[in-house]
Amino acid sequence: MNTHVRITDVAPRDGLQAEQSVVPTSDKATLVGLVQQTGVEEVEVSSFVSPKWIPQLGDAAELFELVAASKPEGVLYSALVPNMRGLEAAIAVNQHAREEHGIERLIDKVSVFAAASEGFSLKNTNGTIEEVLQRFEPLIPKAHEHRMMVRGYISCIVKCPFDGDIHPVAVADVASRLLEIGVDELDLGDTIGAATPETIEPVIMETIDRLDGRATNGFGDPTLTLHLHDTFGRASDCVRMALELGVRSFDSSAGGLGGCPYASTETTRAPGNIATSVLVHTIREEGYTTGVDDAALQRAGEFAGGLLP
């Protein structure tokens, strides 16, 4: 049995995008540096989204420039892109890194993000689910042309802060569309941390069904990742369920930072991601392995925690 579980630390992106204060670029670079030393396979470094929508990450290109020289062998860097403009910014960063630092590919993967609910799709990306998917269609072959992998997020897989409960088939339908337009992997986001093992099981099952037996992709990585936010302390129970169902890739954030500002409502603030330390502990308890080093993870978690007021 394959017991290795892959981890993407999303703290520099999901962790910092919703904060009131804007973290200085040099501190973000320190965070990336600490996170990449923990032994996770991938770091989600930033987003090439509209700075009008997410001012906290308006320095993505500068951040990549700061971390370029210290990117370790074997760690992937990824970034969110909502449209062609975002992808072009990622391509420009890679081109600059090639010319200035001789780095073949600084950003290995771009992530497009759709939603399973119309309410969140409109709030987060100013388009219906179908409109947003259509924005991705020309973007994905262009990312591949520039030798970047593409992750496809689906938000609100169990519950939407605006539309309420989401049917697992609605999630799987978006998964099918993302696969059809060429993403290399899917990432299921429980954006507001509403999932329980009972509610997440059918979502994972329906999605695995659409993957039609493809547990790994052309790069040898798992085709399915789970991205949990931890509002009610059920995220680790959901990890256990997902492991049982065959999921071998998870997102988490150093220090448990995180949250999408467009998932907050007037009364409820969007919750943080499952902390990487909690995820690693859960994975080990279930008899699986990660490449994570506890002392390095503690250093990253402490630094992450200290970044916020």
d(Cα 20, Cα 32) in Å, to the nearest integer? 20
Location of structure tokens 């659409």: 210
Alpha-carbon torsion, ordered 73, 75, 76, 78, to 10 deg? -120
Q: Which CB, 221 or 251, lies closer to Mg ion? A: 251
Q: Which of 168, 189, 222, 272 binds ligand HMG (CB under 6 A)?
A: 189
Q: Which CB, 75 or 89, lies closer to ligand HMG? A: 89
Return the one option of ligand HMG, Mg ion, none that residue 255 interacts with (CB less than 5 to 8 A, by type): none
Round the CA-based radius of gyration of the chain to a whole number and report it. 17
Pattern 264-303, ligand HMG, x by CB under 6 A: ----------------------------------------
Nearby residues of 275 by Cβ (< 8 Å), 6 or more positions away: 230, 252, 253, 254, 255, 256, 301
Helix (H, G, I), strand (E, B) or coil at 186: strand
- Give how many residues touch Mg ion by CB under 5 A: 1
Q: What region does 112 belong to: left with phi over 0, alpha with psi -120 to 50, or beta? A: beta
Restricted to residues 110-129, the positions that interact with Mg ion (CB under 5 A) are none
Candidates 96-104, 118-126, 279-287, 291-299; binding stretch for ligand HMG (CB under 6 A):
118-126
Q: Does 227 bind ligand HMG (CB under 6 A)?
A: yes
Instruction: Give catalytic residues, as residue numbers.
Output: 260
Smallest separation (angstroms) from ligand HMG to the CB of 213: 25
DSSP class of residue 253? Answer: B
Amino acid at 271: P
Q: Which CB, 68 or 153, lies closer to Mg ion? A: 153
Return the one option of ligand HMG, Mg ion, none that residue 8 interacts with (CB less than 5 to 8 A, by type): none
CA 125 to each of CA 18, 238, 306: distance values in angstroms, whole numbers, following the listed order: 15, 27, 30
Q: Does 250 bind ligand HMG (CB under 6 A)?
A: no
End-to-end Cα, the chain, rounded Å: 44
Q: Which of 7, 12, 14, 116 binds Mg ion (CB under 5 A)?
A: 14
Restricted to residues 7-36, the positions that interact with ligand HMG (CB under 6 A) are 14, 17
Is-contact 221 8, C-beta < 8 A?
Answer: no
d(Cα 225, Cα 152) in Å, to the nearest integer? 10
Checking DSSP bridges between strand 159-160 and strand 164-165, what pairing results, if any? antiparallel
Q: Does 54 bind ligand HMG (CB under 6 A)?
A: yes
Return the one option of Mg ion, ligand HMG, none that residue 153 interacts with (CB less than 5 to 8 A, by type): ligand HMG
Under the rule (CB under 5 A), what is the footprint of Mg ion? 14
**Rule CB under 6 A: which residues touch ligand HMG?**
14, 17, 47-50, 52-54, 80, 82-83, 85-86, 89, 113, 124-126, 153, 155, 189, 191, 227, 229, 260, 262
